[in-house]
Amino acid sequence: MIPTGTEILILDTSEHMPSMTYHMAEEKKEIRGALDGMDAVKQAVYKILQTERYKYVIYDWNYGVELEDLFGKAVSFVIPELQRRITEALLADDRIEAVTDFSFETEKGSVTAAFRVQTIWGDLEAERTVEI
């Protein structure tokens, strides 16, 4: 039978695809097993925030966060820029719906951003420190 081209294919996109990924056991420095759901998102948030964007050819240019160029900049510039860059980096993952409730701590030579990540499975707290 030859298709006539008049039929419309409708895909149900209301459910998210599984997010199964490998499990990085950071304390043992090994990869063992797999993760899904909220645990996979927690690991993704950690990896995104630890990966400098555009630095590694293995990653797509939408992956990671730009932080290295903040070194040497004024705190008044770093704080709003850090919030924008973290939000932009994390929202590239379709399991993350919002990044909110930012708070900042400054110490000599560093800024720490603490924030809430709202995911399709619930909320989690995260933070990232940047040397300036």
For position 7, what pLDDT does the model report?
63
For position 4, what pLDDT does the model report?
65
- What CATH number is given for 21-131 in this structure? 3.10.450.40
For position 2, what pLDDT does the model report?
63
Q: How far apart are alpha carbons 67 and 24 in whole angstroms?
A: 23
24 - beta bridge partners? 31
Asked if residue 35 lies in contact with residue 47, where contact means CB atoms within 8 angstroms, the answer is no
Question: pTM here?
Answer: 0.81
Strand, coil or helix: what is 128? strand
Asked if residue 123 lies in contact with residue 116, where contact means CB atoms within 8 angstroms, the answer is yes
Q: Is the pLDDT of residue 110 over 80?
A: yes
Tell me the pLDDT tens digit for each residue of 10-36.
555 555 556 778 788 777 678 888 888
Q: Is the pLDDT of residue 115 over 90?
A: yes
Tell me the pLDDT tens digit for each residue of 59-105.
888 899 999 999 999 999 999 999 999 999 999 999 999 999 999 99
For position 30, what pLDDT does the model report?
80
Q: How far apart are alpha carbons 79 and 86 in whole angstroms?
A: 11
Mean per-residue pLDDT, 104-125: 95
| Confidence bin at 127 (pLDDT 50/70/90) | very high
Q: Which long-range contacts (CB under 8 A, 24 or more apart) does 94-102 make?
A: 94/16, 95/16, 95/19, 95/40, 95/41, 95/44, 95/119, 95/120, 95/121, 96/41, 96/45
For position 27, what pLDDT does the model report?
73
For position 32, what pLDDT does the model report?
81
